[in-house]
């Protein structure tokens, strides 16, 4: 009788974080065994010495893979893709890899300052200027709508970590009062990601356009 192998990867998360959901989704898509630890951000657990020893920036997500500690959600996606996914999620071809990197930069830039920031306003009361934040969100979605005219996924015909990086905050954009109604290709792209084997959703919140 075989005994179960010990789980070596610990994933530090927060349930409402789209950044953390990137990692949760990647771990599930790759079927990586792990232990999840929810960090109580509201209680300031992420600013305490024990957590700051893992990530001096005091942010989730973080993974500890048998002593290899990786912080920053997009960096974690790169690590997981290389460590557990082979070439499927992060291609080695220079042009294809650059196409993926382009969208990782979008995830850390226009996505963060647009749909993600708009959601922070409604969900956590973040002090962002609403009109400009919504404008950035729709500008990004318009670009994505155009780019998805010629391919199924953001960086090509197959899913990559680019799609994982961008999924959660686009899918949950309505929580920030950002409607997806006029972006049918974006909605179809979301559906393709949700149809992937072992897809896991992020919990929705009744705020913004989803408010009762």
Position 2 in a domain: no
Q: Are residues 99 and 204 in the same domain?
A: yes
- Residue given tokens 């997981």 in the structure block: 80
**Which domain CATH number covers 59?**
3.40.30.10
Confidence bin at 184 (pLDDT 50/70/90): very high
For the stretch 29-73, pLDDT in tens is 999 999 999 999 989 999 999 999 999 999 999 999 999 999 999
Q: Are residues 53 and 138 in the same domain?
A: no
Q: What is the pLDDT of residue 3?
A: 38
pLDDT of residue 5 exceeding 90, the answer is: no
Of all residues in the chain, the percent with pLDDT exceeding 90 is 93
Q: Is 76 inside any structural domain?
A: yes
Counted domains in the chain: 2
Model's pTM, two decimal places?
0.94
Pairwise CA distance, residues 98 & 91, whole Å: 9
What range defines the domain where residue 66 resides? Answer: 9-84
Domain boundary (42, 65, 84) is at 84
Is 4 a domain residue? no
In a domain, 1, yes or no: no
């Amino acid at each position: 009788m075989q005994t179960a192998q010990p789980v070596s990867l610990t994933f530090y998360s927060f349930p409402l974080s789209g950044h953390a959901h990137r990692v949760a989704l990647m771990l599930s898509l790759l079927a990586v065994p792990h232990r999840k630890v929810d960090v109580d951000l509201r209680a300031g657990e992420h600013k305490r010495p024990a957590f700051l020893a893992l990530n001096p920036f005091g942010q989730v997500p973080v993974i500890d893979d048998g002593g290899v500690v990786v912080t920053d959600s997009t960096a974690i996606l790169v690590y997981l893709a290389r460590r557990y996914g082979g070439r499927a999620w992060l291609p080695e071809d220079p042009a294809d890899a650059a196409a993926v990197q382009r969208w990782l930069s979008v995830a850390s830039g226009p996505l963060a300052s647009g749909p993600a920031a708009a959601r922070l306003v409604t969900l956590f009361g973040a002090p962002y200027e609403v009109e400009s934040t919504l404008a950035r969100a729709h500008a990004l979605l318009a670009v994505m709508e155009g780019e998805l005219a010629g391919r199924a996924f953001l960086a090509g015909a197959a899913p990559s970590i680019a799609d994982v990086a961008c999924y959660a905050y686009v899918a949950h954009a309505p929580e920030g009062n950002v409607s997806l109604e006029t972006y049918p290709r974006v909605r179809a792209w979301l559906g393709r990601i949700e149809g992937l084997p072992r897809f896991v959703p992020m919990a929705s919140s009744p705020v913004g356009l989803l408010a009762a």
